[in-house]
Chains A and B, each alone.
Chain A
Amino acid sequence: MLTRETVLHIAELAKLELAEHETSLYAEQLSEILAYAERLNALDTDHIAPTAQAIYRRNVMRPDEPRPSLSPDEALANAPQRQDDLFRVHQILD
């Protein structure tokens, strides 16, 4: 079972605020997810190279050619707040 501290640490990294009952609920749910993934450890993978991808593809690259960008209005269409042609968010102090 994940500890309360671990759940709060993960929540902090994800910038989530958890209520007390959510902390215990997520500890339970996240533990179940981890246990499910643990089942993969039963497989013998000693002779299989690690990969992050399900299909074998290599060297997918594009030539260095600029293409048209969006207009500032298109780019800012979903901005939470806008100031001139800049996105505005809550003040960040590192």
Chain B
Amino acid sequence: MEYEAIIGMEVHAQVLTRSKMFCGCSADYASAPANTHTCPVCLALPGVLPVINRAAVEATVLTGLALSCTIPPFTKFDRKNYTYPDLPKGYQISQYDYPLCVGGHLDVQVAGESRRIGIRRVHLEEDTAKLTHTPDGSLIDFNRAGVPLMEIVTEADIRSADEAHAYLTELRTILRYLGVSSGDMERGAMRCEANVSLRPRGARAFGTKVEIKNLNSFRSVRNAIVYEIDRQSGLLASGGAVEQVTMGWDEERQCTVFQRSKEYAEDYRYFPEPDLPPIEMTPVEVQTIRERLPELPHDKAQRYEREFGIKSADVALLVAEHPTALFYEQAVAARPALAQAIANWMLGEVFRYLSEGERTTAELPISPAMLAELVALVDDGTINNTVGKQVLNEMMTSGEAAASIVERRGLAQISDTVALEQIITSVVAQHPGPVAQYREGESKVLGFLIGQAMRATQGKANVQIVRDLLLQALDDSQR
């Protein structure tokens, strides 16, 4: 029998605020010494009161709006009770039945097709402390406890590991565009869980679902889902049954391992947080937040294709990071007619420069307009493509403008036919062997002869003119 996978995803993303969710401790804990970002509130000392961080609420609403969610007029926080030392209060402040955002969707591209993934809800809660287990006991650093954390839950709309991967990639791009989260999975700023079940293709009822935790990278999300689909199909095909359990992804062994069964499912005893008054969001307040939405990657991609005529394969790469997309747009604004040529230079030389040095667009030593001017010099024939790359390299080191480098180093392309004819005459005279080969029909030696002529001009000659003149010279000498 053929099975269909039904997948839902839960993503936790740390919200980029300056202070924690319910107290004034700095939320920038990543490189802080242990237990230097704590206070009576996040340590749960008796008698303290939490106060909601407005920026975290607004960032969550902004995220919901980017995911086409509805923002209900009433929302509140609840206590999720469990006993574990990563939360000193004995409960996590979360949201249960009235989340900040409900009922949205995200369109993702999978193998050239658009797939709509429903978003069930986006809610806000607090992160937990970091535990380190040692043989002598568990060690706790409370710096992370109380950092704002948003949880984004999809409907069970995902059908494959590739779709899950595409969803996660698009979601992270949006979070980064909005500036609400770094989306950095390796550093734990974004964490993911997947619910996977199978049913016979065409069936309506859902099968038993398995929750997979400990997915710490994009690769592990894909691998774990592929593995789990395979494991469940094997079970069902051999007449067995899938049990409702929680599995963990074992990165080293590349398999899912049993964590706990449903019988030990937590009983969280949610109840409304009495220390936090509810939030009522008016349409005007929602509108004010909506006005902060930037143009989103999907819309940018469509606009680049429509307005600039950029190839769709290129567009996805240009819009993947917000600062890169903005750099590109500013370069195009300086030279609107060269949109595709600028895209080619961005995707080739600029991306290579960025990835070689693990740099971000913000660290580029040149402005968008400077890149546009370089592309223009190549486009109008002042310099050839190869020299253009050398000039860009030098710009990246010195920050000097392209025209100035070209002038100072005398790199302008030689298109002067008389000067080039002399060079070609001497190339033909110096290489009788290849010339003879060419005449015998070995046309590939033409490339060698062009190369010799280019070398004689330190690469500055107009290749097209060299080629034409060389062909002419070879024909003449043949006669």
Partners in one complex: yes
List residues of A whose CB falls within 8 A of some B CB.
9, 13-15, 52-53, 57-67, 69-72, 75-76, 78, 81, 83-94
A86 and B140 contact, Cβ closer than 8 Å, known pairs A66-B19, A69-B26, A92-B85: yes
Is the CB–CB distance between B24 and A67 below 8 Å?
yes
Is the CB–CB distance between A86 and B269 below 8 Å?
no
Is the CB–CB distance between A89 and B137 below 8 Å?
yes
Is the CB–CB distance between A61 and B139 below 8 Å?
no
Q: A59-B277, A65-B24, A83-B136 are in contact. List 11 more A-B contacts (CB 8 A).
A: A13-B269, A57-B277, A59-B279, A61-B53, A62-B52, A66-B25, A71-B36, A75-B142, A91-B134, A91-B138, A92-B85
Interface-central residue, A57, A64, A76, by most chain B CB under 10 Å = A64
Within 8 A of A (CB), among B440-476: none
A86 and B273 contact, Cβ closer than 8 Å, known pairs A72-B33, A75-B142, A94-B259: no
Which of A64, A84, A91 is within 8 Å of B56, CB to CB?
A64
A87 and B52 contact, Cβ closer than 8 Å, known pairs A66-B25, A92-B84: no
Is the CB–CB distance between B267 and A13 below 8 Å?
yes
Q: Could you give 10 example pairs across A and B, Cβ below 8 Å? A: A52-B272, A59-B277, A61-B51, A61-B52, A64-B18, A64-B54, A65-B24, A71-B36, A76-B35, A87-B35
A14 and B19 contact, Cβ closer than 8 Å, known pairs A62-B54, A66-B24, A75-B38: no
Chain B interface size, under 10 / 10 to 19 / 20 to 34 / 35 or more: 35 or more
List, in ascending order, chain B residues with CB within 8 A of A93's CB. Answer: 133
Is the CB–CB distance between A69 and B38 below 8 Å?
yes
In the complex, B37 has a CB within 8 A of chain A: yes
List, in ascending order, chain A residues with CB within 8 A of B53's CB. Answer: 61-62, 64
A94-B51 Cα distance, complex, nearest whole Å: 30
List, in ascending order, chain B residues with CB within 8 A of A65's CB. Answer: 18-19, 24
List, in ascending order, chain B residues with CB within 8 A of A76's CB. Answer: 35
A61-B56 Cα distance, complex, nearest whole Å: 10
In the complex, B280 has a CB within 8 A of chain A: yes
In the complex, B296 has a CB within 8 A of chain A: no
Residue of A nearest to B54 (CB): A61
Residue of A nearest to B15 (CB): A64
Residue of A nearest to B138 (CB): A92
In the complex, B55 has a CB within 8 A of chain A: yes
In the complex, B322 has a CB within 8 A of chain A: no
A13 and B279 contact, Cβ closer than 8 Å, known pairs A61-B54, A67-B24, A75-B43: no
Within 8 A of A (CB), among B1-37: 17-19, 24-27, 33-37
